[in-house]
A and B are shown apart, each in its own frame.
Chain A
Amino acid sequence: MANLTREDILKLAKLSRLKLSDAEVEEFTAEISEILQYVQMLDDVDTTGLKPTYQVTGLTNVSRPDEISDYGISQEDLLKNLPARDKNYIKVRKML
């Protein structure tokens, strides 16, 4: 796993909806491989019998009652930064 292939990077790009040039594919193949290798030092730690850490806050059961609030933000404020609108709809490129 340490050395990623070109195919790995292309798959990652596809999953992330990114278009990469050939030069970028090459660049990221090397860079991301390096990052992986660095993180791989964690493999040396013996984790037998340890529970996985899902959270570092130590909090549990943070919840709210089932009541409506407008958070003090108007709908117009929420929608005003949209790149494209059609009345109240969010307009996006055609998807199929």
Chain B
Amino acid sequence: MSDYITTIGIECHVQLKTKTKLFAAVDNDARGAEPNTLISHICLGLPGALPVLNDKAVELASRAAFALNTKPQPFSKFDRKHYFYPDLPMGYQITQFEEPVVLGGHVDIVVNGEQKRIGITRAHLEADAGKSTHPAGTDYSLVDLNRAGTPLLEIVSEPDMHSSAEARAFAHELYLLMKYAGVGDADLYHGNMRFDVNVSVSKDPNVLGTRSETKNLNSFKSVEKAVEYEVKRQIEVLEEGGEVVQETRGWDDTKLATFSQRTKEDAHDYRYFPDPDLPPIELDQAFIDSVEKSMNMLPAEYRTQFAGLGIDPKVVEDIVNVPETAQLVARILETSGGEHAKRIAFWTVQKTDDNSDDAQAAEPDVKVDDKNLVKLSELVSANKLSSTAAKEVLKEMQKTNGDPEAIATAKNLIQESNEDELAKIVAEILAANEKAAEDVKNGEMKAIGFLVGQVMKASQGKANPGIVQQIIKKQLNI
């Protein structure tokens, strides 16, 4: 069936990292809050309530614009999108229909080693709806409006993707961009970032097929799997002589399948009009410049920097996947140079290795001082700690953020590099193991490992094996 061309566009909702809601000065963090405790007359849509725009949301949307390789629009405004649902108390959603805050832009992704540019159509601010639950066996539903009015940025891509791998890579890169730019926490587990994928297939490269929209995907894997499922389903429908229906579909994460939710026969009629309660946003050049100046480094720059240290691309991705790690490595690079940066990068990545797939896992759980990390790395550079011992010390540091040398000393891990001290032990071992010493002298280098082992044992593991080997060779005159 490879003669079908797949076309994919993605819409993504990012929850903005603000303290308060988009139009009400009410706490925005609904996680774990009791139902309907984070509400106001505005969230409830009570008559006469006046929504007032949150400054911070505009700033974060502007940061998103730069992360998407464009600039915020100097003029944007809010519209009302009408539909009736119990979790939407006003009877309309406040969104930006005609003049969004972001127009254009792009995201570069890499799939199978090839870079590809995915266009961004637009991104606009809008208020989230509330949450409803449907207790089983009852004839009612329950509504919690804590989430009503939470600021979202909806980012709409061009239909520029043509495979499930590209869709996944785009979703993942968008996640990193929003996190690095400080736009949102992009905590997928808590639904801070949700993806809708539009998929169509066609044999004619110049004509798009009818598309389906699978909504509310909250992991990169489900984005990938939903595209795969839809491509297969649509091709099957067409091959059997049927027609793909334009419709909204849901995603079942256990069956790894999409299912029909509602068809678009009854084309949506949202009756948009400008919201008279909300004056337009005008951004002047000084504001736009100040946002641009305040932008953090984005993933692409980190990738270039770390690749420059000779770090393997796979490891670079592991580092970049966690902004805190990337920022840490970059800081170390600046203060203490490439050797320490590279070593600390590997330590940090190994620590997060078990949390492989989806990105929400890999937050480092401990804050170890940069200074202590560098000190630990210096101990390795000075041959005072083996790399295995360093990892053991690091584990302890992650619990206590203690001084690495103190921890290493307490754990008796400091390597003996004092050559006079070691030379004595080596002389004793050589005297006690004449046969092995003779073998080494006769070129049987296998035996040297045995001797090194004996010295290590005698030094209670504190000798530096590299140095021990040198001393043995020196004493045997080889």
A binds B: yes
**Which residues of B, 1-49, contact A by the 8 Å Cβ criterion?**
18-20, 25-27, 34-37, 39-41, 44, 46
Q: Contacts A68-B19, A88-B36; is A95 near B54 (CB within 8 Å)?
A: no
Of the candidates A67, A75, A88, A89, the one whose C-beta lies within 8 Å of that of B19 is: A67
Judge whether B141 and A60 touch: CB under 8 Å. no
Residue interface bits B51-88, CB-to-A below 8 A is 1, else 0: 01111111000000000000000000100001111100
Segment from A11-19, A22-30, A34-42 that makes contact with B: A11-19
Judge whether A88 and B37 touch: CB under 8 Å. yes
Segment from B195-203, B273-281, B293-301, B338-346 that makes contact with A: B273-281
**Cα-based distance from A96 to B138 in the complex (angstroms):** 12
* Interface membership of B376, Cβ < 8 A: no
Q: Contacts A54-B274, A65-B55; is A92 near B86 (CB within 8 Å)?
A: yes
Segment from B142-150, B162-170, B440-448 that makes contact with A: B142-150
Judge whether A88 and B35 touch: CB under 8 Å. yes
Judge whether A75 and B39 touch: CB under 8 Å. yes
Closest residue on chain A to residue B44 by CB atoms: A78
Kindly provide the distance from the CB of A42 to the nearest chain B CB, expressed in whole angstroms. 15
Judge whether B40 and A68 touch: CB under 8 Å. no
Judge whether A64 and B25 touch: CB under 8 Å. yes
Of the candidates B41, B58, B134, B140, the one whose C-beta lies within 8 Å of that of A71 is: B41
**Cα-based distance from A4 to B159 in the complex (angstroms):** 37
**Cα-based distance from A11 to B320 in the complex (angstroms):** 51
Judge whether B40 and A64 touch: CB under 8 Å. no
Closest residue on chain A to residue B146 by CB atoms: A88
Judge whether A95 and B34 touch: CB under 8 Å. no
**Which residues of B, 124-171, contact A by the 8 Å Cβ criterion?**
132-134, 138-145
Kindly provide the distance from the CB of A74 to the nearest chain B CB, expressed in whole angstroms. 11
Judge whether A73 and B40 touch: CB under 8 Å. yes
* Interface membership of A66, Cβ < 8 A: yes
* Interface membership of A63, Cβ < 8 A: yes
* Interface membership of B269, Cβ < 8 A: yes
Judge whether B58 and A60 touch: CB under 8 Å. no
**Cα-based distance from A66 to B276 in the complex (angstroms):** 22
Of the candidates B55, B138, B145, B271, the one whose C-beta lies within 8 Å of that of A63 is: B55
Judge whether A55 and B41 touch: CB under 8 Å. no
Of the candidates A62, A78, A87, A92, the one whose C-beta lies within 8 Å of that of B52 is: A62
- 18 CB < 8 A contacts A-B: A55-B279, A61-B281, A63-B53, A64-B53, A67-B19, A67-B20, A68-B20, A71-B25, A75-B36, A75-B37, A78-B39, A88-B37, A89-B143, A90-B142, A90-B144, A91-B140, A92-B141, A94-B134
Residues of A within 8 A of B (CB): 11, 15-17, 54-57, 59-71, 73, 75, 78-79, 84, 86-96
Given A78-B36, A88-B144, A94-B139, 15 more A-B residue pairs with CB atoms under 8 Å apart are A16-B84, A54-B77, A60-B279, A60-B280, A62-B278, A65-B55, A66-B56, A67-B25, A86-B142, A88-B35, A90-B86, A90-B143, A93-B140, A93-B141, A95-B86
Residues of B within 8 A of A (CB): 18-20, 25-27, 34-37, 39-41, 44, 46, 52-58, 77, 82-86, 132-134, 138-145, 269, 271, 274, 276, 278-282
